[in-house]
Structures are given as structure tokens and as C-alpha cells.
Structure 1
Amino acid sequence: MPRARVRFKPPGPQRGGPFRLSSDYPDGEFRILSAHPTEDGLLVVLEATLADPAVVLDLFESAPQSRVPSYDALHADEQTVLLQFQLPFVPSPYRALFASGNLPQFPYTIEDGWIVCELTTSHDRLSQFRDELEETGFAFEVNWVIQSVDSTDLLTDRQRRFVAEAIERGYYDTPRQCSLTDLAAALDVSKSTASVVLHSAEETIVKEFFATAVE
């Protein structure tokens, strides 16, 4: 199933709170650690690390109660503040996630007004998530998509058995703990057979690794 890194941001009039702070303080780090729907809206935990974390507390202290009915400072020191706050509504991105059949995978980061997150999803669900968000006026971008493959599906049963035995006996260790002759004897095959099977498995693994890395 594909894994995607996406980012999205609300239309201009909605870019307040942490969105605005992430633009005003680009050297800071803003992370949404969790967000849980409640009967009253959405309960969010936000971590902010920046030179003057007091600006985060000031922002929430001055926020209209209609936007942020309550908040608690769970932790604060010279560089980091951890806040839990209640929103009186469920924001569009969260609704779009569930409407498209996706699940949130925290943490999310907020960078220069954009929420950045990774999703394990299908191409159809990713497209639906984009459509759901864009209908509400959000900008949406896909940074990358990686088609993940179950490693157990890459090799045949025989190749997997040979590689597992080689790893267990230290054939791939440095220095090598097991020679090809010893490995072949343990597998009850000829040295040439062991070499051919291992080489084929290694070729598959290496090609898959680099194919995924450059996507």
C-alpha cells in the first residue's frame, strides 16, 4: 500500500493560531501530537519549540473563547511549550480524513502555514482526501508517494530460507562468520547452488531497494 507525504493549508482568512505562528516564527517547530474528536469538537495536543515560547501562551490567552473555549499548558520551559486545547468544531482536514477512509497518523508538523503529514493509504483514498479538502478551500500538495512492498513477497520461499540461514550463521557479518561452503553444507546443497540462490535473492533485494529509494 502506498505511503504518501502531503501538505495542506487553509484559505487565507482561516490562517490564524498555530498556522500564523509557524509563518511568523519560521525557525520554530510546531507539532500536533494528537487530535481526538469529542462531543464538543476536537481535543488537540500541540508542542511548540521556539526561542520565545511565551508567544504561544499569549496567542491562546488572547484567543476568543468562541474559537478556543479552553486550553491547558501541560508543560513549559525556556524553549518548549506543550498545550492541550479544545476546539468547538472538527476542522475540515480531520473531517476530510475520515470521509476519505483515511486515518490520522501523528505527529503532524506545521511549517510556514502548512500542515505536513504522512499517510499510509491507497491512491483512490489519497485522491478523495485531496478532493474533500479542496472543496473546503484548502490548498493541497503531494510531496512524495512511495509504493511500499511487503518484503516477504519479494523472495521465493527457497530464497527466503537461504537468506535467513545466511543471516543467522553470520554469512553477511563483517568479518564473515560463515563461509559459502559452510552455508551450503548447512542447507544440504552444493556450493554452486547456494551461490546461485543467494545471488538471485540479493539481486531482487538490491533492485527493489533502489527502485523504492528513487521514486
Structure 2
Amino acid sequence: MILVEFTLYHPTLREALRATPGARLVWEQSHRDGTDHRIIAWVEGEDLDAFEEGLAGDPSVVTFSRKAATDDRRLYQVTIADRNADLSVYPALMDTASVIKRLTATAEGWHFQVAFPDRDSLDTFRAFCETNELRYEVARIYEEEGSTDDDREFGLTEKQRDLLEMATRRGYFDVPREVGLEELAAEAGISHQAASERLRRAQATLNSRALGFDAEEPTPE
């Protein structure tokens, strides 16, 4: 199976999460029974009362209830509005036997690690996102065993692959970021602009290949 890590920019719980930028949601499960679509998730952060106020005013939320609580996190069951439930990628992933390995959400989006069984399942996901005008950004693609796929399969140059691997390992794509672009550029021995362009090209290529788009051969650097 192919593991893909990506950020999905989705409207569900967007307002609640933006109301508390320091909050982090950790998904546990989703359940759909007829028109009733529910999410069960832990939410971590310092101001969880503000998060609950955000839930109350979030247009994607029909109802919510707190199921458990500790000092710094709470377990919620949230019923999602139909218009948002129809945009859920969960059914599209389940229909293709794709496995959600990890799913969190912050004010910056929904952060997925998904195991796709084959290229067809990626195409199904791409088609769903295109149809529903959902945007996402791929951060990393690798085999489930842990070895990286052949770089040429995903259209990366050696320099792009090296910088992308460094950025991933050092936490550049984490939320919040563990390292900045200036530090990555210095460590790679290149300028800030060169690092920015190299990462941008690498991510654009990964997005195209992962989503099944035709991509040009990598530009030599």
C-alpha cells in the first residue's frame, strides 16, 4: 500500500478551529446512519471553553456533546450538517478500502496519513476532490514498509527529493513548524529563494503524480 500524508482544506469545523488557533483535534471515528453524520474526536488545547463556543457558532455543526474530559483535552461527539457531510472524504476512502492511519485537524486544515491500496484508489480520491472543489496539499508519499518509492516514479530530481526529505524529517511540514525555510536553506547550502522554489516544484510534482495528473519530467537544478 502507498502511504500519503496530506493537508485537506475542508469547511467542516473550520470556524470552531479558527476560533481557537492553539487547539488540535485528534479524530477517533466517523459514523453515518442515514442522514446522521457524526464525528468522535479528542480536542487538545489550553482554552477548550473557547473551542466549545466556536462549536456552538460553527455552521458545519448541528449538535455536539462532551463525552469525557481531562485537564487538557476533551472528547466530543459532533453531528455534522448535511451540506458538510456530503463533502466528507470518509466514504470515498472507505469505498476503496483505503485506511486512515492518522487524522488531526487545526486552524490550518485537516492533516491526513492515508494508506491507499493502489493507483485506482488515488484516482477515486482525486475525482471526489475535483467534483467537490476540495483542495489539498501532499507533503509526503512512501511505501507502508517505510522505504521511499523510486524518485522517478513521482518525478522528483535527486536534489528535490533530498530537500523534501530534510524538510519532512526536520518538521517543516508540522503544525506548528519545527524549522523554518531559512534554516533548511542554510543546512542545504542554498539560498532562501532556491530552497523555496525547489520545495514548491517538488510538492507540485508530488501532487500531480499522486492525483493522477500528467506531469512533466523534473526540471534539472
Report if the CA contact (8 A) 1:53-1:78 is conserved.
no
Which structure 2 segments of 5+ residues have no match? Answer: 148-164, 169-221
The amino acid of 1:79's aligned partner reads D
- CA change 1:22–1:87 in 2 (3 A) is closer
Q: CA deviation at 1:133?
A: 1.2
- CA change 1:127–1:143 in 2 (3 A) is farther
Which structure 1 segments of 5+ residues have no match? Answer: 152-212
**Secondary structure at 1:30 match in 2:** strand
Q: Distance in 2 between matches of 1:46 and 1:150?
A: 27
Q: Which residue of 2 aligns with 1:59?
A: 54
| TM-score, with structure 2 as normaliser | 0.55
CA distances 1:125-174 after superposition (whole Å, capped 9, x unpaired)? 123202211221110222111124599xxxxxxxxxxxxxxxxxxxxxxx
Q: Which residue of 2 aligns with 1:115?
A: 110
Report if the CA contact (8 A) 1:32-1:106 is conserved.
no
Among 140, 148, 153, the alignment partner of 2:136 is: 140
Q: Distance in 1 between matches of 2:77 and 2:145?
A: 37
The amino acid of 1:119's aligned partner reads V
Q: Distance in 1 between matches of 2:145 and 2:52?
A: 44
The amino acid of 2:23's aligned partner reads G
Q: Distance in 1 between matches of 2:26 and 2:129?
A: 20
Q: Which residue of 1 aligns with 2:6?
A: 6
- CA change 1:120–1:47 in 2 (3 A) is same
Report if the CA contact (8 A) 1:31-1:46 is conserved.
yes
- 1:80 lines up with 2:73 in the alignment: yes
Name the % identity.
14
Q: Distance in 2 between matches of 1:68 and 1:24?
A: 14
Q: Distance in 1 between matches of 2:44 and 2:100?
A: 21
| TM-score, with structure 1 as normaliser | 0.57
**Secondary structure at 2:61 match in 1:** coil
**Secondary structure at 1:130 match in 2:** helix
Report if the CA contact (8 A) 1:22-1:112 is conserved.
yes
- CA change 1:114–1:63 in 2 (3 A) is closer
Matches within 5 A, 1:116-195: 116-121=111-116, 122-149=118-145
- CA change 1:103–1:140 in 2 (3 A) is same
CA distances 1:75-127 after superposition (whole Å, capped 9, x unpaired)? 2344212111222433422243245x144525411133311111111233123
Q: Distance in 1 between matches of 2:4 and 2:64?
A: 32
- CA change 1:112–1:68 in 2 (3 A) is closer
The CA RMSD measured in Å over matched residues stands at: 3.0
Q: Which residue of 2 aligns with 1:42?
A: 37
Q: Which residue of 1 aligns with 2:15?
A: 20
Q: Distance in 2 between matches of 1:85 and 1:150?
A: 34
